[in-house]
Amino acid sequence: QVQLQESGGESVQAGGSLRLSCVASEYTYNSGCMAWFRQAPGRGREAVGAIDPDDSTRYADSVKDRFTISKDNAKNTIYLQMTSLKPEDSGMYLCATGFSTCGVYLWGNPDEFDVWGLGTQVTVSS
């Protein structure tokens, strides 16, 4: 059973916008916080941001004021709205969960998140 499934990635020009979606199984969605990570070729997974069950959000400094995480409880879905995209935003975007609240875990070892989607590819060209 697929627990997390991302979609929405595509190739865009710098300055453009994209909205990514992550659909979760009901059990997974209600398990706690949901986080977005990204991984560029040859690099490790980097936390982008997360949303907790109380709708509080947190973002990496590199995306703050450009990216917004939201959720639709009726659809068990979280979204990552990305604006003013830059080439350095390119990578595989993955959603993950594993904690009741993401808190400090978001900035630690990604391997501590135990449920991951397969990802969706975002390519930003200059």
The yes-or-no verdict on residue 2 having pLDDT over 80 is no
Q: Residue 103: its pLDDT value, please?
A: 84
Secondary structure of the chain in the HEC alphabet?
CCCEEEECCCEEECCCCEEEEEEECHHHHCCCCEEEEEECCCCCCEEEEEECCCCCEEECCCCCCCEEEEEEHHHCEEEEEECCCCHHHCEEEEEEECCCCCHHHHHCCHHHCCEECCCEEEEEEC
Q: Residue 59: its pLDDT value, please?
A: 97
The yes-or-no verdict on residue 100 having pLDDT over 90 is no
Q: What is the pLDDT of residues 73-83, one digit of tens each?
A: 999 999 999 99
* Higher-scoring residue by pLDDT: 104, 89: 89
30: confidence class by pLDDT, cuts 50, 70, 90: confident
